[in-house]
Amino acid sequence: MKKIIMSLLSLSLFAGIAVGCTSDQDKTTKKSKESKESTEVTSGASANGYTDLSELEDQYDIVIIGAGGAGMTAALQAKEAGMNPAILEKMPVAGGNTIKSSSGMNASETKYQKEEGITDSNDKFFEETLKGGKGTNDKELLRFFVDHSADAIDWLDTKGIELSNLTITGGMSEKRTHRPADGSAIGGYLVDGLVRNVKEEKIPLFVNANVTEITEKDGQVNGVKVKLNDKETKEIKSNAVIVTTGGFGANKEMLEKYDPKLKDYVTTNQEGTTGDGIKMIENLSGATVDMKEIQIHPTVQQDKSFLIGEVVRGEGGILASQEGARFVNEMDTRDKVSAAITALPEKSAYLVFDQGVRDRAKAIDFYDEQGFVVEGKTIEELAKNFDMPEAALKETVEQWNKDVQAKSDTQFNRATGMDHDLSTGPYYAIKIAPGIHHTMGGVKINTKTEVLKEDGAPIKGLYAAGEVTGGLHGANRIGGNAVADIIIFGRQSGTEAANFASAQK
């Protein structure tokens, strides 16, 4: 448990940095320290907006399993609908994998796009996501997803969570990745904002509350069994249950079961992402879909298994081999970029960028604090630091800059993330290789987020949202779509569960 807490404390520190004002680093650092200190409280209660376990009641209108982005969003939406929800989280802090999100949230036809003169459409978003998923996406889920994406951005605005800064991710043709105004990583900012809203709405959020079973009676879900602080087990009754426990990217056994080739890969997932929700739903005869579709992210720092966000490439970064040459369209879909890196002799590469990229992608400051970033005053010095041919890397960057000026990638036909060249020293690089990042497979749901059985019939009173579900992303997830997934379907699950629970009263 100590290892888990320390890991999460590191993520909490990242959250504090991501939320902070870039013009006042001292306040940000102070806030991060305060967050760390408060998290060290045994239960993590009160100081972080968590509810003491002694206040856990025997019954709620809706029980939500998991306090990541989808779970907190579902709770807020259910509360808006007049329900009395409670959130149960097995880890010592809220946030789940959401807190590790970096690039942003994809959405089309938003007010922020219109303000920047970006002409986008839900149809284009649909087609590009379908293409990225190799045509295997659940089209009904995908249609609902794109058509409700702009509403989700507006809803976050009403919660004081503004995502007004736009960038782009691989597989997309438009700037539709929304992030905080200062360009910082979205994860900490989003979790911080959701926790704040949950606290303001007086929604009980219990940590160290590990749900071990979803109960049912007469074919209808009626509550959960939860283990508190790894000790006593308590049964909670509810009219509906929403499962938002995330995927299984940190469960080695499940990963190897569905794809043995992943045995030696590092994972970017937080330690609680172990597929618990999927297993509990399978025990209720819930169906699963796409379980073998496991996404490898191309840019993962291997020593600490930390994802380096796609925003670095979206803002102009390039990938170079040990020989100092580009070898792929850096803005292609994640599966293709990962495959290109794995095909290199070293099975690793370098993410190269300049001060301009660093200024536009604030998450890099955190990567630097973690010791991931290597600096060179010149391109040649940077290459020397990696024992890379100096002339080769210089030629690569010079050619890239010419291509950016001409708006034509002569090597790999890259068409996005080319708004700025790499000509502002100093220069930087992070050594990366692919790592396990996202499990596209999960439990099967419909557009009402009802959990379905193999015959397509819904399990009454049971809903699910976020990475615990499958079908939306198909065979490959587009960067920025996971955050959109948790907000869009988190809201939908809260609404639909509230409708169901209300009818039971």
Query: What confidence tens digit (pLDDT) does each residue in 219-241 have?
Result: 999 999 999 999 999 999 999 99
The 3-state DSSP class for residue 235 equals: strand
What is the SS3 assignment for 259-316?
Answer: CHHHCCCCECCCCCCCCHHHHHHHCCCECEECCCCEEEEEEEECCCCEECCCHHHHCC
pLDDT for the residue numbered 26: 38
Q: What mean pLDDT comes out for the span 289-311?
A: 95
- pLDDT score recorded for residue 183: 86
Tokens of 453: 């059985």
Q: Which residues contact 487 (CB under 8 A, 6 or more apart)?
A: 69, 70, 73, 105, 152, 155, 156
Q: What domains are there in the chain, each with its CATH number?
A: 49-293+440-503 (3.50.50.60), 295-436 (3.90.700.10)
**Residues whose CB falls within 8 Å of the CB of residue 115, separated by 6 or more in sequence, listed in order:** none
Task: State the catalytic residue, choosing from 334, 358, 477, 491.
Answer: 334
Question: Is beta strand 427-439 parallel, antiparallel or unpaired with respect to 374-376?
Answer: antiparallel
Cα distance between residue 387 and residue 375, in whole Å:
13
* φ, ψ (nearest 5 deg) of residue 326: -70, 155
| Known catalytic residue at 334 | yes
* pLDDT at residue number 49: 66
Which residue reads 């198909």 in tokens?
A: 474
Could you give the CA distance from residue 112 to residue 115 in angstroms, rounded to a whole number? 5
**Cross-strand pairs, 267:** 436
Question: How far is it, in rounded angstroms, from Cα 243 to Cα 356?
Answer: 42
- Percentage of the chain with pLDDT > 90? 87
For residue 3, the model assigns a pLDDT of 42
Instruction: Give the pLDDT mean for 473-483.
Output: 96
User: Which pTM was predicted?
Assistant: 0.85
- Which of residues 431 and 47 earns the better pLDDT score? 431
Q: Are 174 and 337 in contact (CB under 8 A)?
A: no
Alpha-carbon gap, residue 453 to 438, rounded angstroms? 24
